[in-house]
Amino acid sequence: MSHGLSLITLLSPWLDISTQCCSDVTISELELDSRKVIQGTTFVAIKGHAVDGRQFIDVAIAQGANAILAQACDDHPHGEYLVQDGVVIVYLDHLGQILSELAGRLYSLGSLKLIGVTGTNGKTTITQIIAQWLELLGQRAAVMGTTGNGFLDTLQPAANTTGNAVEIQRQLSEFAQQGASYTALEVSSHGLVQGRIKALPFSVGVFSNLSRDHLDYHGSMEEYARAKLSLFTEHHCEHAVINVDDEIGLAWSESLPTSLAVSLQPNVLKHGVWATEVHYSEAGISLAFDGHFGQGHFTIPLIGEFNASNVLLALTTLLALGFDKQQLLNSAPNLVPVLGRMELFQADGKAKVVVDYAHTPDALEKALMALRVHCHGKLWAIFGCGGDRDKGKRPMMASIGERLADKVILTDDNPRSENPAMIVNDMLEGMQKPGNAQIEHSRFNALQYALAQAEENDIILLAGKGHEDYQVMANETIHYSDRESAMQLLGVTL
């Protein structure tokens, strides 16, 4: 909760407004959703992608709004103010774009340090590993992202990977008041394009990788890449930590002269950290490195090559922030796998089940390749594709499943308003031998079938939903969890 600013002070960077109209108006809470306005809240009416908030000014006033900040238009130019039912309405140009800065003036972050992580895959794992590691070193750390916002032991569900500009500033201010010294944020391309984090001061920005996703929104890979790059070029970002095993990251690191390059290859990078040796086993990953911060070696109980990359990026971030290298290495074995991210479920005499959030071609490919290293029997892949989303990735994902798994079961993954059978048909187009794929629309039944057919040394990858505990159908959202299915069918508890 902020202590409040006068409306005049809050808007002073953009407007010199008359003290007569609003000298006694104190702004303490901003709200973009008119339904959440209560007595004393200030309603921010912007033209969004789907809804024009200015249509709800009357509603907000009726619910007790103490002032309205509205996006300027031809009828109401920048700087105009009106009084309606005793409530002042102030019109501002580019309100959506200045919202992050405006909210930042109201909600103080104190000494909270921010770490922003962007990329197609790995954001949740990297932010949560950073937060875990900070906690192991005695720091209070929060996260914001796909699996929720808050401290790791009390995560609250989040509607979007990156919330709106007001929610983010308010939430960070609350973390600071609750004693957080650091917050690691997942930074989505949507959030970057829409200016939701525009005014945040990042101590470190991290880039994980870039592969096909969200093309329904960005239109092209070039636009998608440009959105991600803006974290480092158009935002305050003290240190940039870049995965140069990704070709986009390699190109960026050359154009960002102060960046720290990170690689799993023994590259001798001028300014960076690289692995000199990596070993994978069922117990986890053992990694030796060299570079800008000297040499070191650690082991972590995570599986998969991309997790080696994620952890090396997290380590480099914390070294860039000045944490003691030896303390970091000593505490690494105490890190734990992230919920729904390459999460292993096993019971004696049965195939292993790995639940992972992989829902893009690149993520599915990496998950299957990572598990192949650990698999001494057949590798199974159970996955689907979302409805009302990028159709181009459907045949690509099925092709990857056919190429890298021994057995493929195509299932549903949030079909939304589309016919699930049509989504599966789109996927089958990508397969050389579509007849070899099993089709089972119920994810629970798909896993049940796989476990009945699989042998003890087999691994079953249940991909796409990870931490999610719902399935979005045409007219309803039902409760469903891959993690719960795995535990129930294997007879195990966490």
| Of 318, 273, 281, nearest in space to 297 by CA | 273
The three-class DSSP label of residue 477 is strand
Task: Give the span between the Cα atoms of 462 and 145, in whole angstroms.
Answer: 22
Q: Has 317 been labeled as part of a binding site?
A: no
C-alpha distances in Å from residue 83, one per residue of 24, 67, 80, 94: 14, 9, 10, 21
Q: Has 255 been labeled as part of a binding site?
A: no
Q: Has 413 been labeled as part of a binding site?
A: yes
Beta pairing, strands 260-263 & 237-243: parallel
Q: Has 196 been labeled as part of a binding site?
A: yes
* C-alpha 138, offset from chain centre: 25
Q: Has 464 been labeled as part of a binding site?
A: yes
| Of 285, 271, 274, nearest in space to 313 by CA | 274
- Give the amino acid at 340: G
- Give the amino acid at 265: Q
Q: Has 416 been labeled as part of a binding site?
A: yes
Q: Has 169 been labeled as part of a binding site?
A: no
Q: Has 213 been labeled as part of a binding site?
A: no
C-alpha distances in Å from residue 23, one per residue of 6, 18, 270, 301, 493: 7, 8, 56, 59, 59
Are the CB atoms for 161 and 191 separated by under 8 Å? Answer: yes
CB atoms within 10 A of CB 30: 23
Query: What are 248's two structure tokens?
Result: 């986009």
Q: Has 162 been labeled as part of a binding site?
A: yes
Q: Has 415 been labeled as part of a binding site?
A: yes
Task: Give the span between the Cα atoms of 276 and 254, in whole angstroms.
Answer: 22
Task: Give the span between the Cα atoms of 331 and 84, in whole angstroms.
Answer: 59
Q: Has 299 been labeled as part of a binding site?
A: no
Task: Give the span between the Cα atoms of 341 and 465, in whole angstroms.
Answer: 10
Q: Has 188 been labeled as part of a binding site?
A: yes
Q: Has 119 been labeled as part of a binding site?
A: yes
The binding site for ATP consists of 119-125
The binding site for meso-2,6-diaminopimelate consists of 389, 413-416, 464, 468
The binding site consists of 32, 34, 119-125, 160-162, 188, 194, 196, 389, 413-416, 464, 468
